[in-house]
Amino acid sequence: QVQLVESGGGSVQAGGSLRLSCAASGSSNSRNSAAWFRQVPGKKREGVAGVDGYGNNRYADSVKGRFTISQDSGVNTLYLQLTNLRPEDSAVYYCAAATRRISVLSLLWEESYRYWGKGTQVTVSS
């Protein structure tokens, strides 16, 4: 059973930066596929960035050039660097993982992932 715990959320002004972390435990596979999703009340959860565990990434168009996803397999942690934040980036951000390799085209699909964290709130003020 994989457990995921997010941290690093907070409140920032537009143009600011945050770094989200997702600590994973319970998996011995250092090449798990993983992703960040976000959700605002009343809307469907949206895939933001994903990584397949082999160096291949995928980003939502809305965050390309501003967000960077990375993995540190040595400490089983997934990161999301958020820069040039906008008010529309405000959401609860969730970490998701799968104990298998997911195709790049499927990295931002909710259905690709079995394990989910409880989320961390990001609030961006104008």
pLDDT in tens, 15-66: 999 999 999 988 766 678 999 999 999 999 999 999 998 889 999 999 999 9
CA distance 125 to 87: 6
- pLDDT tens-digit map of 91-119: 999 999 998 899 999 999 999 999 999 99
3-state secondary structure the chain: CCEEEEECCEEEECCCCEEEEEEEECCCCCCCEEEEEEECCCCCCEEEEEECCCCCEEECCCCCCCEEEEEECCCCEEEEEECCCCHHHCEEEEEEEECCCCCHHHCCCHHHCCEECCCEEEEEEC
Integer Cα distance of 105 and 107 in angstroms: 6
Tokens representing 16 are: 């600011």
